[in-house]
C-alpha cells in the first residue's frame, strides 16, 4: 500500500510541476521576477537569443540566456522594463559545436 501511495504522490507532484523558476542565478547575483532589466544585464550580461534593445524599446518581449551545455537555458519575459516571468528550458549549447561536449 505504501508503494502505491508513493507512486500516486510522485505522479501528482510531477503533474503539478511547472518549468517556471522564480529566479535566475548568474554568478554570485540572483535575478528575481520584478527586478529591473538593468539588474538583469548587470548580473547575467547580454542574452544569447533575442534583441534586448528592441525589447526595451517596445516595453515587452522575451530573451533567452544560454549558460552552456551543462546548465539549463532560461527564457526571460520582460514587461515595462522589469522581469515579468522566467522559464527554464533544456540544456544550453556551445555555438558552432557539432558534437556534444563530453564531461571532463
pLDDT tens readout for residues 24-49? 998 899 999 999 999 999 999 999 99
**Residue (of 31, 23, 20) closest to 87 by Cα position:** 20
Q: What is the share, in percent, of the chain residues with pLDDT greater than 70?
A: 74
C-alpha dihedral, 87 to 88 to 89 to 92, nearest 10°: 130
Interval 66-95 mean pLDDT: 93
Q: What is the pLDDT of residue 15?
A: 47
Considering only residues 2 and 104, tell me which one the structure prediction assigns the higher pLDDT. Answer: 2
User: In degrees, to the nearest 5, what angle opens at C-alpha 65 toward C-alphas 60 and 68?
Assistant: 170
- Grid coordinates representing 67? 549558460
pLDDT-derived band at 101 (thresholds 50, 70, 90) equals low
Which domains, ranges and CATH numbers included, belong to the chain? 19-91 (3.30.1450)
pLDDT score of 103: 54
| Mean pLDDT (whole number) for 80-90 | 94
Amino acid at each position: 500500500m505504501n508503494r502505491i501511495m508513493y507512486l500516486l504522490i510522485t505522479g501528482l507532484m510531477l503533474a503539478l510541476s511547472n518549468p517556471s523558476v522564480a529566479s535566475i542565478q548568474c554568478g554570485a547575483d540572483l535575478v528575481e521576477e520584478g527586478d529591473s532589466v538593468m539588474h538583469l544585464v548587470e548580473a547575467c550580461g547580454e542574452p544569447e537569443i533575442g534583441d534586448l534593445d528592441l525589447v526595451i524599446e517596445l516595453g515587452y518581449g522575451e530573451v533567452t540566456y544560454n549558460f552552456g551545455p551543462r546548465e539549463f537555458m532560461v527564457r526571460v519575459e520582460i514587461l515595462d522594463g522589469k522581469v515579468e516571468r522566467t522559464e527554464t528550458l533544456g540544456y544550453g549549447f556551445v555555438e558552432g559545436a557539432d558534437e556534444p561536449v563530453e564531461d571532463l
